[in-house]
Structure 1
Amino acid sequence: MNNKIDYSFEFFPPKTAEGMANLREVRKQLAPFKPEFFSVTFGAGGSTRDRTMESVLEIQAEGYGAAPHISCISSSKAEISELLQAYQAKGIKRLVTLRGDIPSGEVSSGDFKYANELVQFIRAETGDWFHLEVAAYPEFHPEAGSAQKDLDNFKRKMDAGADSAITQYFYNVDAYFRFVEAAQMVGITAPIIPGIMPIYNYTQLARFSSVCGAEIPRWLRMRLEAYGDDLPSLRAFGVDVVTEICAKLAQTGVNKMHFYTLNQAGTIRQIIEQLPA
């Protein structure tokens, strides 16, 4: 087990009691890695608001660091203020602060248009109470007009008061390094934590990647496609690929990694346990 890296793990809020029970077991399996925090996502337009809070409070009650995602699309300032007060009252100290996805068919975007506006609002409402994480895109946000515009947007979020950033997942390590270097050149010194996506299923991964703008390199795509329905072999190969990415990051001094778990633990355990101590 690699004890030199601070890990964090992202969950989505389960819809059922069975899902909640499964997530408790997943947390138990990931607990030996002493995570800095577990984060819980927030559905488009706040569609999972109550389930997000329920999951976060359960994680906190178990003694772990807990970080709810909070997104501003389709939300009013009054709604966000109410949510912030609720989290403060429960002693939550960290937020993953996002613009969020626009729900299908949505017309009104609420009082906020961009994540930097949400960061600024949270700072105005709560001061330094929360540690604020924001999103970063090593391969550029899919809506960005150019790499420079994407970097400018990222800097606006950091300048608005974010403490650190978590990247979208990537399979090209150089993209992460180039992004960090570009951020440093415009004066961003806060930690930029790499987001890590294990490979469970090629069809699912391709769908996620087409939406979020993460590139699956051609060599990797063709290898994954070649496995067809042989999921055990695909996942074993995926463990090797992602372990190598994490090892390269660690070798260059990266000491924090954030895993997108999809509410599963086994593959992630394999990856972390294979990393050099």
Structure 2
Amino acid sequence: MSRPALAAVPLPEPAPLFAAAKGDIAVSFEFFPPKTEKMAEVLWSSVQTLAPLRPQFVSVTYGAGGSTRERTHATVERIVRETDLPAAAHLTCVNACRDEINTIARSYWDSGVRHIVALRGDPPEEGATYQPHPDGYADAAALVAGLKHVAPFEISVACYPEVHPQASCAAGDLDNLRRKVDAGADRAISQFFFSPEAFLRFRDRVAAAKIDVELVPGILPVSNVGQTRKFAGQCGAGIPEWMDGIFEGLDDQPTARQLIAATVAAELCGQLYAGGVRHFHFYTLNRAELAYAICHLLGVRAKVAA
């Protein structure tokens, strides 16, 4: 005896991860100063590629111990001089007295820079313990307070969703963030992470602690797991085991690595977007294509000058 045919029940069509993205976000990009003329060309090409996305700001880092201070200064000044992008310069406490740092800050202000990323900084020798300069700023909170006395800078600082490796505990890490905000920080940019829950739970802890500051997730598209693992060891970020597996066997396939890197980072951004995040800060490593692709998925489109 044959059974009656069952009526087909239409299955709900799952919404694509980026279906809700409407371009209603702010983006910002971080670059590092070039060490050679060829690297300078790559950096400037990256700046020009990302400029049409109209980032809220672009920042330029220091090397360890302030070792690239002059190149950072030159790069920031070129961005101010040759583009209309809001440029932010990194400043750290390492290997500099207060007068030296204040002089650099005034020079930035005089050249048109209105935004500083204020960081304690890492010692020049890998693995060494941070020691403040005897005549310098003791930490990032002191640096923020000092910069606010130099000029009315907009100031961004760092925060750590997975706790700074030198913090005594998560509560102590939050207290350090509070000190930076109380000193005048306008924004806290997170170290990179690979779990959306890490950032969203951190956002909840900051809110529960009544620390009133804009929190911006730092996004690092990964195409070299070994290099990223070194970065992660310095800032306390966890790297999930599955990340090793998806890049396995691709050492000689740079294009495939880039495609996978963009996919993984874009999914992270999509999940953060679904959690209410509307500003993303990209650690570009001076490679524009990955950040550009992810921004496109998030609905950010290039604005062509009329």
TM-score, scaled relative to structure 1: 0.93
CA distance in 1, matches of 2:89, 2:34: 14
Q: Which has the higher helix share?
A: 1
Q: Tell whether the 8 Å contact from 1:95 to 1:132 is kept in structure 2 after alignment.
A: yes
Q: 1:121 aligns with which of 146, 150, 163?
A: 146
Q: Which moved more, 1:173-182 or 1:222-231?
A: 222-231
Partner secondary structure for residue 169 of structure 1? coil
Structure 2 residues without counterparts, runs of 5 or longer: 1-20, 301-306
- Structure 2 residue 61 is matched with structure 1 residue 36: no
Paired position in structure 2 for 1:240: 263
Cα distance, 1:33 vs. partner? 1.2
Paired position in structure 1 for 2:165: 142
Cα distance, 1:226 vs. partner? 5.4
Q: 2:137 aligns with which of 101, 112, 119?
A: 112
- Structure 2 residue 277 is matched with structure 1 residue 257: no
- Structure 2 residue 113 is matched with structure 1 residue 92: yes
Q: How many residues align?
A: 275
Structure 1 residues without counterparts, runs of 5 or longer: none
CA distance in 1, matches of 2:298, 2:210: 32
CA distance in 1, matches of 2:295, 2:49: 12
Paired position in structure 2 for 1:12: 32
Q: Which moved more, 1:161-170 or 1:26-35?
A: 26-35
Cα distance, 1:163 vs. partner? 0.5
Once the two structures are superposed, residues 95-114 of structure 1 have per-residue CA deviations (whole angstroms, 9 ceiling, x without a partner) of 00000011117886312221
CA distance in 2, matches of 1:27, 1:85: 25
TM-score, scaled relative to structure 2: 0.85
| Aligned CA distance change for structure 1 residues 22 and 232 (closer, same or farther; 3 Å) | closer
Once the two structures are superposed, residues 149-182 of structure 1 have per-residue CA deviations (whole angstroms, 9 ceiling, x without a partner) of 1111111111111001100011011010111111
Q: Which moved more, 1:219-228 or 1:49-58?
A: 219-228
Q: Tell whether the 8 Å contact from 1:2 to 1:273 is kept in structure 2 after alignment.
A: no
* Aligned residues with identical type, % of pairs: 39
1:246 is matched by which residue type in structure 2? C
| Aligned CA distance change for structure 1 residues 82 and 107 (closer, same or farther; 3 Å) | same
CA distance in 1, matches of 2:245, 2:185: 38
| Aligned CA distance change for structure 1 residues 56 and 276 (closer, same or farther; 3 Å) | closer
| Aligned CA distance change for structure 1 residues 180 and 262 (closer, same or farther; 3 Å) | same
Once the two structures are superposed, residues 178-201 of structure 1 have per-residue CA deviations (whole angstroms, 9 ceiling, x without a partner) of 111111111112110000001121
Paired position in structure 2 for 1:59: 79
Q: Which moved more, 1:224-233 or 1:32-41?
A: 224-233
Q: Tell whether the 8 Å contact from 2:132 to 2:139 is kept in structure 1 after alignment.
A: no
Q: Which moved more, 1:98-107 or 1:137-146?
A: 98-107
Paired position in structure 1 for 2:17: none
Cα distance, 1:227 vs. partner? 4.1
**Which one has a bigger Cα radius of gyration?**
2
Paired position in structure 1 for 2:196: 173
CA distance in 2, matches of 1:95, 1:235: 31
- Structure 2 residue 212 is matched with structure 1 residue 192: no
Q: Tell whether the 8 Å contact from 2:159 to 2:190 is kept in structure 1 after alignment.
A: yes
1:169 is matched by which residue type in structure 2? F
